[in-house]
Amino acid sequence: MATSNSRQAVKSPVAGSRIRFSASLIQQAGKQFYSLTMPTDILSMCCFVTTRAEDQQTGFQRVLDKKRAQDIASYIDDNLGTIPGSIILSAQPDAELKLIGGGKTVEFTITPKAFLVLDGQHRVYGFTLASSAMRVPVVIYSGLTHVEEARLFIDINTKQRQVPNELLLDIKQLAQREGDRDKLLREVFDLFNEDPNSALLGLMSPSSRQKQRISRVTFNLAFKSVINVFTTPESKTIFTVANAYVGAFLDVLQHLGLHQRVTSPAVFRALMDTFPEVARISAAQHGKSFSKSKFATVLSPIAEQMTTARFTKAAVSVNQLSSLFATLIKKDFSI
C-alpha cells in the first residue's frame, strides 16, 4: 500500500464495493469491538451522525460545527501533527460487517450509512473537508441496539473527560504553540500569581478550575479589554497599571463587604471590563501616571452609591454588572 498522504496516490474504492482491513477483536463487559486503522478518505465515505434536531427518536449527537471541522482539515492538510485518538463507530446493517481470515480481518460494504459515529464526529467531518488523507485508529462496535449506542455515547462523554481548558492554556508554552497574545496573557497572569505585590496573590489558579480562585480561562477573557488599551503592550507595564486598578477596586469591594466575590468569573470580568473607562477618566483627571490612589478617586462613587442588594442583582451577568459600574462612575465624573 502506498505511504503518501495524497488522495490521488491511492484510488479510493467506489460506493457499494466490499473492502477489508486487518483488525483485532476485543471483548469487554459482554460486548465486542474491533480495533484497526483506516484511511480518512474511506471513513468520510461510510460514516454518518444523527443529531437530536434531525431525529428525536434515535438521534443523540451534537450539531456539527463546520469551523471546528475545517480546523481539523487544515491540521491534516498542513501536516501539523498526528491524530492518535480512535474514531468510535457502531456498525449498521448497511455495512454488512463480517469477520474473516480466521478472525483477523473485517470486511464491510462502502456505503454512506455503514457506520454511525459515536465519538469523533468533527474529526470525521474534517476528513471530508481535507484534500489529503492519512490512516487513523478506529474502533468498530458490532451488534449494538439504538439504546446501547446512546448509552455508550453517554459513557464516552461523561466518564472519559476532556483535558480542562485551564490546563491546555497552562502548557501552551511547553508545547511551543503560543501566539504573541497568548504569551502576553500568560506573562501577565503569572505576575498576578507570583509577584509579592500582586493584589490577587493567593487568588489565582494556573492549571485548573478551583472555587475561590481565578483561572487562566477567566483571566484571559477578562483581560481582553485591558490589553487593548495599551498601545505597546508589555507584560510588566500591564501588570503594574492593572494591579493598581485591581487593588483600588478590591478596596471598594472590601468597603461593601463583597471582596470575596472578586474571584467569581462574572464579577472579575465585569471589574476588568470597567478598566478602560476608569483609566480614561483617571488620565483625564491626573494624566497618564496611574496609581492605586488615583484609580480609587475615580472608583469612589461605586463605594458611595452601591448597595449589596444592587450588586447581587447585577452580578448574575457580566454585562449588567459592568454597566452598573460604568453608570455609577459617570454620575460623579467631572474635570
Which regions of the chain are under pLDDT 50? Answer: 1-10, 52-53, 55-60, 333
- Cell triple for 129: 473537508
Q: Using CA atoms, how far apart are residues 307 and 312, in angstroms rounded to an integer?
A: 9
pTM > 0.85: no
Structure confidence by residue, pLDDT tens digits, 201-229: 999 988 777 889 999 889 999 998 899 89
Q: Is 120 left (phi over 0), alpha (psi -120 to 50) or beta?
A: left
Unique residue bearing C-alpha cell 487593548: 228
Q: Using CA atoms, how far apart are residues 104 and 22, in angstroms rounded to an integer?
A: 6
- What does the pLDDT read at residue 189? 94
**Burial label, 227 (beta-carbon count in 10 A; 0-12, 13-18, 19+):** middle
Q: In whole angstroms, how far apart are CA 205 and each of 6, 157, 176, 218, 263? A: 44, 25, 21, 10, 10
